[in-house]
Amino acid sequence: MKITVPATSANLGCGFDSIGIAVNRYLTIEVLEKADVWQVEHTLGEEIPSNADNLLIETALQVKSDLVPHRIKMTSDIPLTRGLGSSSSVIVAGIELANQLGKLELTQDEKLNIACKIEGHPDNVAPALLGNLVVASFIDGEAYAIPLHFPYCALLAYIPNTELSTKRSREVLPSSLSFEDAVKASAISNVMIAALSKHHLHLAGKMIEQDLFHEKYRTPLVPEITTIREIAKKHNAYATYLSGAGPTVMMFVASNLRKNLALELEKLELDGEVVYLEIDRIGVNISGFED
């Protein structure tokens, strides 16, 4: 029995805390035999618990507290604390684990609401659940999400070797915006989504890069984004943005231009990897559970 959940890249600049895409790195949970206590086998590092304190099991037990413990194998190629939704992928997997083992028959809306309550915002959990591009809100405890088809384009990510916690990256944000800036910021985001839904990647990219909500405050934490964006522009990339809370920098680029852009970025010899990614169109995937 297997649950697979994609990585996610949230925000897309002006879509702060609301918009995200699913990308083709995956968390895989294999549910093995029943056991006396929960056991989570993984090679993700000593700081990740191997018992019921693992976020996967904590989440599953929050959904259904009397689940029978199992031995679980957890593997993941989603880098941790890099702005690619690693913890959201675990939360979505935990909800699905409870759904399957507890035979709860949760609807997508119910899963989304539970995930948002645990995570706090929808921009990673919604695309992890639904795949593709998702526009979502979570306000006063109520989540709404609309999946949209993300236009065909290649993704290129710069994934630094250093971690940046969401907590630290949120501490630098202002506590309020002026009315004028809030109106501008939401207009930019509205046009970005309309442009993406019409597959106008150039216009969408222009809007992504005009974000007023968060990137300018976070740039000192990920200063290399400025150089990466300049080079990406020279290579006619559609957009460069901070993936989630960072430090990963994501680029949207036409497929035939990606290789040269990657080679150029590699010449910078930054402390990190330049990685090809693609959109995941499926979201969470379940196989082998009994009906």
The backbone torsions φ and ψ at residue 183, rounded to the nearest 5 degrees and listed phi first, read -65, -45
From the CA atom positions of the chain, what is the Rg in Å? 19
Distance (Å, rounded) from C-alpha 82 to C-alpha 77? Answer: 12
* Omega prior to 247 cis, within 30 of 0: yes
Counting contacts by CB under 6 A, is residue 211 touching ligand HSE? no
Which is nearer to ligand HSE, 38 or 131 (by Cβ)?
Answer: 131
CB of residue 17 to ligand HSE, shortest distance in Å: 4
Residue 127 binds to ligand HSE (criterion: CB under 6 A): no
Q: Is 123 in the site for ligand HSE (CB under 6 A)?
A: yes
For residue 133, give the nearest of 115, 108, 152 by alpha carbon: 152
Pick the closest to residue 145 from 157, 162, 120, 127 (CA basis).
127
If one asks whether residue 121 binds ligand HSE (CB under 6 A), the answer comes out as: yes
Q: Which residues inside 39-98 make contact with ligand HSE, applying CB under 6 A?
A: none
259 CB-near residues (< 8 Å, 6+ apart): none
Smallest gap from Cβ 126 to ligand HSE, in A, equals 11
Closest-CA residue to 277 (of 252, 246, 242, 244): 252
| CA–CA distance, 19 with 137 (Å, rounded to integer) | 8
The 17-46 site mask, x for binding ligand HSE (CB under 6 A), equals x-----------------------------
From 10, 63, 114, 133, residue interacting with ligand HSE (rule: CB under 6 A): 10
DSSP secondary structure string for all residues of 1-53: -EEEEEEEEE-TGGGTTTEEEEEEEEEEEEEEEE-SS-EEE--S-TTS-SSTT
Annotated binding site for ATP: 79-89
CB 184 within 8 A of CB 212: yes
Site string for ligand HSE, 139-178 (x = CB under 6 A): ---------------------------x--xx--------
d(CA 53, CA 75): 17
DSSP state for residue 219 in the 8-state scheme? G
Closest approach of ligand HSE to the CB of residue 256, in Å:
31
* Residue from 57, 143, 193, 245 binding ligand HSE (CB under 6 A): 245
Size of the site for ligand HSE (CB under 6 A): 13
From 6, 79, 244, 283, residue interacting with ligand HSE (rule: CB under 6 A) = 244
CA 122/CA 138 separation, integer angstroms: 6
For the bound state, the minimum distance from the C-beta of residue 38 to ligand HSE, rounded and expressed in Å, comes to 26
- Least CB distance from residue 265 to ligand HSE, whole Å? 23
Q: Which is nearer to ligand HSE, 100 or 124 (CB)?
A: 124
Residue 27, helix vs strand vs coil: strand
Measured between alpha carbons, how far is 180 from 184 in angstroms, rounded to an integer? 6
Report the nearest approach of ligand HSE to the CB of residue 242 (Å): 8
Shortest Å distance, C-beta 31 to ligand HSE: 27
Q: Per rule CB under 6 A, is residue 9 in the interface with ligand HSE?
A: no
- Which residues here bind ligand HSE, judged by CB under 6 A? 10-11, 16-17, 121, 123-124, 166, 169-170, 214, 244-245
